[in-house]
């Protein structure tokens, strides 16, 4: 499932791409490139968030394997 933000960004890019193809003006090229950059930035945010959760998850899994020392 695609998030609402991702869907909005994809629609924005699709519209900018269409305008660029149909009208092929410098302004439409800038709009298309800006939309593409916004999508790239959003993907980078998601990847960083995913990495943060993965690292945190690995730490938790290591903690789960820890066996306390028994003092006699």
Establish if 8 belongs to a structural domain: yes
What is the pTM (predicted TM-score) of this model? 0.66
Establish if 71 belongs to a structural domain: no
Q: What pLDDT shows up at residue 20?
A: 86
Establish if 72 belongs to a structural domain: no
Establish if 36 belongs to a structural domain: yes
Query: How many separate domains does the chain show?
Result: 1
pLDDT (tens digit per residue) in 3-61:
899 999 999 999 999 998 998 999 999 999 999 999 999 999 999 988 887 776 555 55
Q: Can you spell out the DSSP letters for 9-70?
A: HHHHHHHHHHHHHHH--HHHHHHHHHHHHHHHHHHHHHHHHHHHHHHHHHHHHHHHH--PPP
Establish if 70 belongs to a structural domain: no
Average pLDDT across the chain, whole number: 84
pLDDT (tens digit per residue) in 46-67:
999 888 877 765 555 555 566 6
Establish if 68 belongs to a structural domain: no
């Amino acid at each position: 499932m695609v998030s609402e933000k991702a869907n909005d960004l994809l629609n924005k890019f699709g519209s900018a791409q269409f305008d660029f193809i149909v009208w092929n003006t410098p302004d439409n090229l800038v709009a298309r490139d800006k939309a593409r950059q916004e999508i790239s930035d959003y993907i980078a945010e998601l990847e960083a968030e995913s990495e943060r959760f993965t690292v945190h998850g690995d730490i938790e899994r290591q903690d789960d394997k820890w066996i306390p020392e028994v003092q006699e």
